[in-house]
Amino acid sequence: MTQKRTSAGILGTGWCVPEKTVTNSDLEKMVDTSDAWIVERTGIHERHVAAEGQPVSDLAERAARMALEDAGVAAEDLDLIIVATLTSDRIIPSTACILQDRLGAKKAAAFDLSAACSGFAYGAAVASQFIAGGVYRHVLVIGAETLSKVVDWTDRNTCILFGDGAGAAVFGPVEDGYGLLGFDLGSDGSGGDVLDIPASGSLHPVTKEALEAHQQYIHMDGKAVFRFAVKIMGHTVEEALKKSNHTKEELDWLVPHQANIRIIDSAAKRLELPMEKVIINIEKYGNMSAASIPVALAEAAHAHRFKKGDLIALAGFGAGLTWASCIVKWAKED
């Protein structure tokens, strides 16, 4: 006899960004760029930057506590914590383990997930499977980054793009027919070199020579990443819709990774979705990697933009190269 699978959905959301902002005007004083150039090509006006000595776990904890409160779930009732990040406090222990202790989630397993900007969507897919299979009941998924600490502030091609922040969602059982209905995950490792941090692991350890060459910072082939993103963003949502037995005509909202307004616009056009149905906050936060999707989702949810029954697509792409999308039927009462 086949065991009935539990529907897994989002019970609550939260977000946190640092207080400090760096505007395009500020960047004009640091590198050869201009506010008009940045806005035209990316849609970004400013980004939030962590304070000196502020680790990613601090932002993640604040977002997590907000999500737990919104969900009405106690930390002691969490079964698993997943943190999607490329800027963990340390290589070991995982940031998820640090949060498990700080939150007092005494019975929760915990691990970090590495899928760069696709990380939150990957984490949502993983969480839903644990819940659907009856293994766990409550899973906290966090996307959190302090990219300002791995950005070369003398490189005008990358420093204009990235910001810091954290978004969180508590996943748990919801009524049948709601929650995460389908997902699409993918990767193309042959494109790994177009977006990486060269000196960050066992292949090229951080040495004096690596530091002098700025190899500890994000390196990106912007044109290659743009071409990949335009091709994959709409496609991955279409694949997830097929797997969830829905069509793009039924889609109510798109919550995309906030990397570039032109990429978001391209995905919306492919899905035939008007821009007023696309959640966009790139102008004030920039690209927050794994935090982009959950921060946009949480802001929209707390602004009461979603109603119960809305069909929402979460979609991202990132280093790896990776891509991911989830189709969610919103289960939370406004």
What are the residue numbers of the active site? 117, 257, 287
Decide if 138 contacts 170 (C-beta within 8 A): yes
Strands 253-256, 311-318: pairing is parallel
Bridge partners of residue 162, in order along the sequence: 287
Q: Which residues contact 130 (CB under 8 A, 6 or more apart)?
A: 79, 80, 136, 139
The reply to whether omega before 256 is within 30° of 0 (cis) is no
Phi, psi of 306 (to 5 degrees): -100, 145
- Angstrom distance (rounded) from CA 239 to CA 236: 5
Amino acid at 280: I
